[in-house]
Chains A and B, each alone.
Chain A
Amino acid sequence: MTKEKKKTIELGGIARAVRHPIRIVALALAALSVTSGIAGAAGILSAIIGVVLGVITGEKLGRSRYRLPVVIAAHLAFLVVFWGLAWATTFFGILPSLLGPSSSLVVDVILRFFATSFCVVSCFRAVAVRRPTAMAIELLVLAAALSLMFAAHRDAVIERPLWLSDWAWRHGYDPSQVLLAIGAVAVVVLAGLLLAESRRKISLASVLLLPVLALLAMMLLGVSDLRQPEVERDLGLTESVEGDEPNPTPPGHAEGGNEPRRDGGGSRGEERDGGRSGGGGDERPDGGSQTSEQDGSSTAEGDEQDGGGSQDEGERDGGSSSGDERDGGGRSAGDAGLDGGSGGGGEDGGRSVPAEGEEGEGGQCSQEERDQNDRQPSSQRRDQDRNQPDRSPAPMAIVLLEDDYSPESQAYYFRQDVWSEYNGSRLVASRRADADLDVLREFPTLRTRVRQTPPVKGRTLVHARVALLTDHNHPFALESPVVFEPISNPNPTRFERAYRFESLAQTVRFRDLVGRRLGDPSWSDELRQHYLQGPADPRYEALAQEIVGQLPPGVRDDAFTQALAVKLYLDQEMTYSTRERHANQPDPTAHMLFGNRIGYCVHFAHAAVYLWRSLGIPARVGTGYHSPEDNRRGSVILLRSNDGHAWPELWVEGVGWVVMDIAPARNLDPPAQPLDEDLQELLGDMARENPPEPLEPPNREPLFPNLGRNLAAALVGVLIFAFTLLYVVKLWRRLVPIVEGPQHMPRVGFRLAIDLLNEAGFVREHGETREAFASRTLHLVPAFRQLTAWNVAARLADPSASLDERAEFRVANWRLVLGEFKKQLRRNTSFVRRFLGLLNPVSFFFSR
């Protein structure tokens, strides 16, 4: 028994000893949280030092003999003096001239923060020492300062501070629970401090402070030990990422187009009357105004509609090379023309033509696209590219098909944008409200339905998900999309974003389209005209009529057959080369078509559309990605930078927009890099719902999931249990004297008496004898003196006498005097005080 006693006393001693360190640490933390937002390292440090010294000084001053107003006035004077000093350091030139301006500013800050924190803390401490009730104010200040750090976290909406909630998220905790736990711990610590201060004697309850403090320290340590997230984007992709512009750019416009500003370009062109503007350098900071002059001098038409002049060198090179190749191109074109003529003329409607034409050619066109999309299409860059054949095109996106779909054209066309509006020199994205409603021009945040969907007949629904490896301006989908919806990014360190689409993909065979009307009868005349507008150049119509004229008379009037004939003609006649850019031409398409007939997909698409439109066939250019079916591996399609493509589309009644791509017969470009199948498989796996383990960032399993909630729940549970237990004990101590026998009556009865006195607010001091305490309360409860005498006698008097002889062991005596005692207590003490004492569950800890 005595051993236990000793132990609790020692624990109490420890708790009492750590009381001041706890306060210093807590106040220093508070100073840190207050000043961290408004001061630099010097200010924070000086504030913390000020706090530490302030606690010590306040403690000493509180116990000194100076009167409290004097102490407070001294603090104010100290504050004023230090602020004056701080002001003087920067106001007069002496110190700055000695130390330099920045050092004197630091001195200024140090003085201010030190003085302020020192004075505030010391003042509160001194007052709290003198008047224990002021402790509450001190703790309130402390709590307010600490909670400042969490001030932004209100109603559990914003989980601030971010460094804490980030840490929590990363370790799998709910930040609101972590904050809850911290709050609970802080409450317990503050309450403990209050308890420890208000009582001279440390009770069992305040011993609980130690583990709580340890817990807090542990959490703080854990917080400070944050690991920096490592961004892993090093699959050998990053180097080529920067050059990838997935959107094919039109001839004459693409060069210099660092930003994908087709919309801007289009709109500008329109605003300025079909590109009569001068240079447009204002919108192209990189294009630069210095080039516009050269544009003006070098181009016959004067101001081309856009600032492609930044590629002067490339143009000149291109010009010379095109000059060289013109002959060859002409020759080959002639040969091709013959071949095409024979091939195309012989066919009746292109039953099987597209298949042959498309088969291998799409890849070549996309090969072109890659270079075309490179931001530096200058000859040097291209030469560099040639010198580095190992360089593979950058992956742009991963498409995971969820449905089995094999396209009729044997290639997947992922449409991102369409150009249908003729702006005087080329086709651009339409700004009409009623045109091209099957394109979504922003990423979906909700499940979004495309405004215009094609007829279901002749099409099948295909679901797929897309994970973008680089940023795109808007989503693309297998033609023709119906629904877009966002999905969570399967791997944020790898993919920019992910979404899902449903498309009605074409299943009707091309041959079945023969004989159908082209163009939607529901279109207004205006819209129909929109899709028919083309350059005024009469050569287009002449060429188109010439092509149509070669058709057998039976099918000559069929619009689709006419369109197909044009396509086949272009297939035959054109030569693919990304080097031939036809830049700085008023109509690059005409320059290509009626010139050397060398170009790339954008030129071909424009040519096809212009020719179709001159025949009265509504058409437009679609842009996006093109991937041959052969490149599909399982359900994964890897889209690379060289898969960017532009193609002509035409509207077939009952089917909607149908892709009818041009596949040139000859290709001057080197063959494309083969697809990296491992990469494709890897990225496909990553894009799936369950990413493979090793590529995940090292996301440790949280050691204690739901630590915050469990901690809070445990705290509440322990509190409820403890309260119940305490009240039971209290009730027991209250009731047991009724049944107690003479042996223990002096102890039990007296315990009841001191419990009651304690609840009324009277407690024996540490080291005060029972008799002295009885004398102290004599004016309130005279009967207590008798109880005290009996209680002491029961223990210290000569035990050789029998119990019956000793008055202190007589139960009747005790009952009588206890009754008297209670009466006196009720009469002489306030009811409120006694009631509060009755409610206090731990009151009996302080009875002694």
Chain B
Amino acid sequence: MDETADKNPIESDFEQSKHITYEKAPPIDDLQGAFGVFDRLRNRLRPAVLGRDDVIEKIIVALLADGHVLLEDYPGSGKTTLAKALGDAIIDDLPEDDIVTWRRIQFTPDLLPSDVTGSTIFDPNTNRFFFRPGPVFAHVVLADEINRTSPKVQAAMLEAMAEKQTTVDNRTRVLDELFFVIATQNPLDLSGTFPLPFAQLDRFLFKIKMTHISKDAELQVLATMKARKHGVPDEFPRVTRTEILDARKVVEEQIFVAPEVHECIVDIANNVRRDQRVLQGISTRALVLMVPALQARALSQVRAFATAEDVQEMAPFVLAHRIEFAPGAEAPETVINDCCAEPIERLARTSMQRQE
């Protein structure tokens, strides 16, 4: 299955993805197949990052919902491992496009946008300029400590995230369809940082706060340290890029979101906007982004429709970072749960109401 890079040498000097194939897997067009993709990814990531099952699930949901994830975490909590394992789980079945499965960018204050997007370089051999793609040209990008870099670099990164394209030297280049960013930021060590403005936080589908893993999981990490040194064993199947795109399509098209669920999330948004503890409520875009999240989450439960449970599960992660809280407000989760309770109760009750 895995092939070596020299099979189809390309002109550039860039390395190829670790796992590539030229064969197309059978297309996925139903719920079960899509869930198979979800399941395979989950199974590969779990041994790589122990004790983070919930985060893994969220990240896969975000991946299938075509969104990006901001992890708020302390250093050394397994973010890189997670992103790396995700990149490792994807087989590049389009190796000719110069896009690798995984890249990591370590953001620093002196980073330049071209360090992220790539730059045009003069080749003395051919006497021509050629574009040398930056790290964003990858399927999975780990943007480490994104708040450490200057706003212009952040802006370049965020343009790529929003539009799946990047503009270098006034030429817009399209990124891969499967472009998934896992950004991280340290919630405490804030000196010399450039906190992301709300408008840019809005680009992330989820903001996930990771907490320290449980004692058992931590012990297991230490116990399996040696075994995991060489990555996840191959007995856990990988997924191809196309399979992920197919699964996205299934999520988008086949998972039904009832009008009651729409009503529920709109009610939640209104509750949030009305809440005294909130300065600025959530945008309509947040709701638009939330629907795929609900669908992807429904897929994770092998369900062909979104329910109140999905809303309850997703709302804090989708909404929390889009809300500007009044000074002295309680924890964002509390506020959101308060605002969710009533619409979710109403949604739960619809199933006991006589259908016209």
Contacts and interface: CB of A to CB of B under 8 A. Distances in A.
B355 interface: yes
B256 interface: yes
A744 B340 CA distance: 28
Interface string A331-346: 0000000000000000
Interface string A829-848: 00000000000000000001
A194 B258 CA distance: 39
A1 B350 CA distance: 11
A771 B309 contact: yes
B225 interface: no
B251 to A, nearest CB: 14
A795 B350 contact: yes
A767 B342 contact: yes
Contact of A747 (B305, B341, B345, B352): B352
Given A795-B260, A796-B261, A798-B256, A769 B304 contact: no
B308 interface: yes
A772 B303 CA distance: 15
B307 A771 contact: yes
Contacts of A792: 307-308, 351
B348 interface: yes
Contacts of B354: 1, 744, 747
A768 B348 contact: yes
B59 interface: no
Interface in B243-266: 256, 258, 260-261
Given A747-B352, A772-B312, A793 B305 contact: yes
Interface residues of A, number: 24
A261 interface: no
Given A797-B256, A798-B256, A770 B350 contact: no
A796 B295 CA distance: 12
Contact of A766 (B258, B261, B345): B345
B83 interface: no
Given A766-B345, A767-B342, A772-B312, A1 B353 contact: yes
Contact of A764 (B260, B309, B348): B348
Interface string B299-330: 00001111111001000000000000000000
Contacts of B352: 747, 750-751, 791, 848
**Residue among A791, A794, A795 with max Cβ neighbours from chain B (10 Å):** A795
A16 to B, nearest CB: 13
B309 A747 contact: no
Interface in A791-848: 791-798, 848
Given A747-B351, A770-B348, A796 B260 contact: yes
A402 to B, nearest CB: 79
B341 A766 contact: yes
Contacts of B351: 746-747, 750, 770, 791-792, 794-796
Contacts of A848: 348-349, 352
A767 B345 contact: yes
B90 interface: no
A343 B306 CA distance: 133
A519 B351 CA distance: 109
A778 to B, nearest CB: 14
Contacts of B348: 764, 768-770, 848
A747 B340 CA distance: 24
B141 interface: no
B344 A795 contact: no
A797 B348 CA distance: 14
Contacts of A770: 307-309, 348, 351
B155 to A, nearest CB: 39
A1 B260 CA distance: 14
A766 B261 CA distance: 18
Interface in A742-800: 744, 746-747, 750-751, 764, 766-772, 791-798
Contacts of A5: 346, 349
Q: Size band of the B side of the interface?
A: 20 to 34
A5 to B, nearest CB: 8
Contacts of A744: 354
Nearest to B342: A767
B330 to A, nearest CB: 14
Given A848-B349, A848-B352, A796 B307 contact: yes
B321 to A, nearest CB: 22
B303 to A, nearest CB: 8
A366 B110 CA distance: 133
Nearest to B350: A795
Contacts of A771: 307-309
Interface string A498-527: 000000000000000000000000000000
A767 B305 contact: no
Nearest to B305: A797
B304 A798 contact: yes
A791 B308 CA distance: 13
A256 B50 CA distance: 116
Interface string B123-135: 0000000000000
A792 B260 CA distance: 12
Contacts of B307: 769-771, 792, 796
Nearest to B340: A767
B349 A796 contact: no
Contacts of A798: 256, 304-305
Nearest to A766: B345
B258 A796 contact: yes
Contacts of A791: 351-352
Given A797-B256, A798-B304, A769 B309 contact: yes
A9 to B, nearest CB: 8
Contacts of A746: 351
Given A747-B351, A750-B351, A767-B344, A795 B309 contact: no
Contacts of A795: 258, 260, 350-351, 353, 355
Nearest to B346: A5
Nearest to B353: A1
A764 B342 CA distance: 14
Contact of A797 (B304, B309, B344, B345): B304
Contacts of A747: 351-355
Contacts of B303: 793
B253 to A, nearest CB: 11
Nearest to A773: B348
Nearest to A771: B309
B306 to A, nearest CB: 7
A770 B307 CA distance: 9
Contacts of B258: 795-797
Contacts of B345: 766-768
Nearest to B257: A796
A149 B354 CA distance: 51
- Interface core residue of A744, A751, A772, A796 (most chain B CB under 10 Å): A796
A766 B312 CA distance: 13
A747 B354 CA distance: 7
A764 B345 CA distance: 10
Contacts of B349: 5, 848
Contact of A772 (B260, B304, B309, B346): B309
B338 to A, nearest CB: 9
Nearest to A754: B352
A767 B341 contact: yes
**Most interface-central of A764, A793, A794 (chain B CB within 10 A):** A793
Nearest to B349: A848
Contacts of A767: 340-342, 344-345
A196 B226 CA distance: 59
Nearest to A775: B309
A848 B353 CA distance: 11
Contacts of B306: 796
5 contacts: A747-B354, A769-B308, A771-B307, A795-B260, A796-B256
Given A767-B340, A769-B309, 19 more contacts: A746-B351, A747-B351, A747-B355, A750-B352, A764-B348, A767-B341, A767-B342, A767-B345, A768-B345, A771-B309, A772-B309, A772-B312, A791-B351, A792-B308, A795-B260, A795-B350, A795-B351, A796-B256, A798-B256
